[in-house]
Amino acid sequence: MDTLAKALGHASIRTTVDLYAHLATEDVAADVARIIAARETRLRNQSDAQTRISKPIEATSGFEPLYEALQASA
């Protein structure tokens, strides 16, 4: 939960618990997977001007630690 609170920018873990404690791990993992997939699609669909770089750089979403933790607990 602490990782989720940080990723969402919550000042208090209590906010995260109040909003998301009812969710099952599988639900959160599926949502994170959809967020990551949407982000990857957006990156692939960027204009040619933005993607013309000699070595593509993959930006992190900030959800990687959360996603990995959820996958490990599943």
**Backbone φ and ψ of 37, nearest 5°:** -65, -40
Instruction: Provide the domain limits for residue 25.
Output: 2-73
Closest CA to 31 of 41, 43, 20: 20
pLDDT of residue 41: 85
pLDDT of residue 14: 92
Total structural domains in the chain? 1
Select the more confidently predicted residue: 10 or 67.
10
What whole-number distance in Å separates Cα of residue 74 and Cα of residue 55? 35
pLDDT, average across residues 5-10: 86
What whole-number distance in Å separates Cα of residue 58 and Cα of residue 6? 21
- Whether the per-residue pLDDT at 59 is higher than 60: the answer is yes
